[in-house]
Amino acid sequence: MMRKAGFFRSATVSTAGALALSAMLCACDENPKGASAAAPAASVKSAAASVKGAPAKPAAKTLDEVFVFLPDTLATVGDKKITKKDFLSQLGKIPVEYLAQLTPDMLKNQAKQMVGNLVDMEVLLVLAEKAGIKPTKELVIAEFDKRLKEMPKEQLDMVTRQLELQGKKIDDLKNEALKDPNTFKIYAINKWVEDNLKSKVKVADADIEKYYKEHQDQFKKPETLTASHILISTMGADGNPAGKVDPAKDKEAKAKAEKILADLKKGADFGALAEKESACPSGKNAKGKLPPFTKGQMVPEFEKAAAALKPGELSGVVRTNFGYHIIKLEAKNPASMMPLAEVKNSIKAQLEGQALEKQLSDVLTKQKAEMKVTISDFK
């Protein structure tokens, strides 16, 4: 109740990095940079959102009308042509109205990136097939099942819960993958990458230690406070903390909070009173105790009052948009450094990812030259 709203920023990775990662359940990967090569159109949707509110223009009715500037042949990889039809099929179920919001320059820039993705996929698919890895149903099933077995139990449980919220099961995800021709290609590419590149990536302990020493800012733990509170609410029935407060209700809430504070000073049990009187769910769930928080996570008045206390101390009656609080500071944990042992595995995974991406980028550069790749110009 007390925490500020958070915002999540989406991140993109290069084509090489995306192709190197698993196509299955990428959104639930523990690696925050994980992305699926099956969705080269995702950045188009993101870009469309960024121009929301732009001046209206005649609405395009079809994808052909949106990408009218594209030639029939977009690129060639050896004897293989990548056509406009191939391109449009990659857009999946993105609504035309999303794409129609983009300016012409943005559309062309996004189209060039997508064509580059398609070229990279085709080059890697050729390499996979030369190695005897074909995009078949059997391969998809085998690789899908392999990734399930390799997934940590906690991660698998999280994925299962997310699917349940959508009314789905793991098998539904597998069946959906088997209906998408692009999935077949991506699994073949991923297997080739794992067999021929990933197995060669080695990160030494010395490299991990070097990274840790050179990037200390990434491993700093900020000061955290742990506090309990009792909230006497002044919010209306709509639960809006920014709404207008009835003066009589505000006066009544303040008087009640002051009475509770007086009782606490006389020795009343904080947890019992929080459980009985607090309007915050933490009262019933944890006798008023809140999860540890850092600077900027709480509303300013609450944070300032809590920070001024010593462990075990009570605040006065503190007013916020939510109502009147009595705060008890439980603990103050000073800023510290995360020990190397705690972050070693995550550093290793990051360095392995960077090394794999470099290898893949080098392979693509070399193979494009040998396969005589050409990309059409559509200025």
**Average pLDDT rounded to a whole number, residues 263-291:** 95
- Tell me which residue of 262, 257, 275 sits closest to 325, measured CA to CA: 257
Least confident span in 61-65, 234-238, 272-276: 234-238
Domain with CATH 1.10.4030 in the chain: 15-213+341-375
For the domain made up of 223-333, the CATH class stated in words is: alpha beta
Residues 6+ apart with CB under 8 A from 258: 317
The reported pLDDT for the residue numbered 13 is: 29
Question: Is 0.85 surpassed by the pTM of this model?
Answer: no
Which tokens hold the place of 68?
Answer: 């009218």
Q: What is the pLDDT of residues 235-248, one digit of tens each?
A: 755 555 555 678 88
The secondary structure of 123-144 as a DSSP string is HHHHHHHHTT----HHHHHHHH
For the domain made up of 15-213+341-375, the CATH class stated in words is: mainly alpha
> Would you place residue 90 in the very low, low, confident or very high pLDDT band (cuts 50, 70, 90)?
confident
Domain with CATH 3.10.50.40 in the chain: 223-333
Q: Is 305 exposed, middle or buried (0-12, 13-18, 19+ CB in 10 A)?
A: buried
The reported pLDDT for the residue numbered 240 is: 56
Gyration radius from the chain CA atoms: 28
Residue that has been written with the tokens 């030369």 in this structure:
130
The reported pLDDT for the residue numbered 102 is: 83
